[in-house]
A and B are shown apart, each in its own frame.
Chain A
Amino acid sequence: MTFRKYLVLGGITVFSTAGDSLLARGMKELGGFSLHNLSGLLLAILNPWVALGIVFLLTFFACYMSALSWADLTYVLPATSLAYVLVALIGHFRLHEEISPTRWLGIALIAAGVGLVAAGPSLTPGHHRENSAEAAPDTVSQEVEL
């Protein structure tokens, strides 16, 4: 695992969190939508917050696809759950929202799960890997699981 790869994993967390928050902010500004107002939903992308949110979510998707090209699905997925933790921490430290003990426990469980996976190999021997194996032999870890 190189520094660049950790950056991509961090990008998954940051861009999905930022994208969701921007979308939520924009949609709240626009108000509720009903099935009778579908054209309004299409025009929603003209709202700057919604547009920026979509750009961030596309960046998230690019990071996610990039990570899946060199790491296992079961390695990348726990990293995506860090977004839940980031949202809660932003709410706590910037918006001064209360975090209940149950939620702190949830944050601890997610962090422990992510730490556990991140400490192990990022790519385990599998099939369908004809291209990546020759491109980056150093990432194919033969490390034995616990």
Chain B
Amino acid sequence: MKEIYAWAAIGLIILASTTGDVLLSYSMKRVGDVGELWKRRGVLAVVGRVLRTPTFALGLMAMGVAFYSLLFGLSWGNLSLVVPASASLTFVANALAARIFLHERVGRRRWIAALLVAGGVVLMAI
């Protein structure tokens, strides 16, 4: 039973952190290149524009959910299962979500990279 809870937490971590990353990426694309904005209008304009983007707050909330899911997952499962499983699957889920929701061109190069990184993270954790 504990294993089911651990995998449920892993699923929740992947869902929440992918949602968070997509929302944050979407927000920052709407804000625009912050380096250019900083040069033209100053740092306060950058901070103001980021904070006034509603999806930014939603992204932060999703990241918060992911963090607490990780804490719950760690209380039910082993560190050596929960962290590598959620981290590596998040890379793959993010590539999929970036393609669908952010319309990024995830070509063969980036798919192979996502799988290499996901595999590497698992190998480093076992």
Q: Do most interface residues of chain A lie in helix, strand or loop, or is the interface mixed?
A: helix
Asked if A36 is at the interface (CB within 8 A of a chain B CB), the reply is: no
Once A68-B25, A145-B107 are accepted as A-B contacts, the answer to whether A128 and B120 lie under 8 Å apart by CB is no
B94 contacts A110, C-beta separation under 8 Å:
no
A128 contacts B117, C-beta separation under 8 Å:
no
Q: Do most interface residues of chain B lie in helix, strand or loop, or is the interface mixed?
A: helix
Which residues in A have their C-beta under 8 angstroms from that of B105? 124-126, 145
List residues of chain A with CB under 8 Å of any chain B CB. Answer: 4-5, 65-66, 68-70, 72-78, 81, 84-85, 88, 102-103, 105-114, 116-117, 119-120, 124-132, 135-136, 139, 145-146
A131 contacts B31, C-beta separation under 8 Å:
yes
List residues of chain B with CB under 8 Å of any chain A CB. Answer: 21-22, 24-26, 28-37, 50, 91, 94-95, 98-99, 102-110, 112-117, 119-126
Which residues in B have their C-beta under 8 angstroms from that of A110? 116-117, 120-121, 124
A74 contacts B98, C-beta separation under 8 Å:
yes
**Bound form: Cα–Cα A120–B113 in Å:** 11
A73 contacts B124, C-beta separation under 8 Å:
no
Which residues in B have their C-beta under 8 angstroms from that of A114? 113, 117
